[in-house]
Amino acid sequence: MLGFTRETRIKILTAPIIGNTPIRKCEFLSSRYHSNIYIKEEFHNPGMSAKDRPAYYMIQDAINRNCISPGGTFVEASSGNTGLGIAMFAKQYGYRSKIFVSKSCSQEKIAILEAAGAEIEICDNSNGLGDFYSTQFKAQSYAATQPNAYFTNQYYNSQNIRAHYKTTGPEIWKQTDGQITHFLCGVGTGGTISGVGRYLKEQRPNVNIWGVEPAGSILQHYLDARSIPEQIAPFESIEGIGRNFVPGSFDPTPVDHIYQVTQEDTKTMARAYRTDTGILCGFSSAAVLACLQRYATGMHLKPTDTLVLLFPDHGSRYISKLYSETPKSVAHA
């Protein structure tokens, strides 16, 4: 459960139960890759997503700094999961929410957002503040022109990193008894890998912090070169991860490497994992599995290693995108 200061308790009397999500050893993957592979199941959060953590931290921070008055509107640009966290907590504490999503957002997520009471606006893309038609630009413009509206701005809000540094990282360290040697997760805003990576590196500097993004995303290039590519092309669509700009919530310092995977391989692995384990994993979770499938040999995993995969949400939010085709076994992937 998240920790709260005395000042926070004064302003928010009832804090949501977030975190302490389970870690499960996946015997199937452990056997397949000859290592100890655990899955951090973030879909056990109340909004079924890892994004509940930064959503709450950002709302808590805005209320405590008097950035918004009771009854106001929290605004966010989101692929769906952060938006749901914002919508849930805003409603719980007497606020409204308006969420800007791109047209690639799954219908399942849009339905859940609307059920949570959020006002939805669909935008052309999520290409950052420099694009007038992006979710980020439209969310910022809306918050700047409407009374008592606050843009939580997960892409540039330090609370995004802080939430995972304060909660997800310590949980993983404790749940693995400090034996973790590798951490692998999808990279979108960068908050998860930055916060978890920073905490784990403080405990053990040689722990490997690895990210996954879609083919064509620029964060791998930025991590290696500390610069943005001269030519930026559209990246393959894997909902929740990948960027054509560098978010302020991405700290490359603790990150050792970022791998790239294709959308096709990701979809194949989602269906294959369902066939072999009966588990529906989300889009970026499947990207992590696709990363293992493609790069495991070069990762040089040993039987004594402990690799933790972050599954940030559940496959039930991507039925139409991932599970509408006939699945096939991982053995044939």
Catalytic residue ranges: 51
Q: Return the C-alpha torsion angle 294, 298, 302, 305, nearest 10.
A: -70
In which residue are the tokens 């997760």 written? 185
Angle at 96 between CA 135 and CA 246, to 5 degrees: 25
Q: What angle do the packed helices 81-92 and 107-115 form, to 10 degrees?
A: 10
Which SS3 state, helix, strand or coil, does residue 217 take?
Answer: coil
The helix/strand count (H/E) of the chain reads as 13, 10
Alpha helices in 99-134 (DSSP H): 107-115
Task: Give the separation between CA 128 and CA 19, rounded to whole angstroms.
Answer: 29
> Whose CA is closest to 62, among 76, 51, 50, 49?
76
If phi over 0 gives left and psi between -120 and 50 gives alpha, with beta otherwise, what is residue 25? beta
The CA distance from 182 to 299, in Å, is 10
Residue 294 · residue 196 · CB < 8 Å: no
Is the distance from CB of 21 to CB of 42 less than 8 angstroms? yes
Q: Please state, in angstroms and rounded to a whole number, the distance separating the CA atoms of residues 254 and 161.
A: 12
> What is the SS3 assignment for 279?
coil
Tell me how many degrees the CA angle 317-318-320 measures, rounded to the nearest 5.
Answer: 125
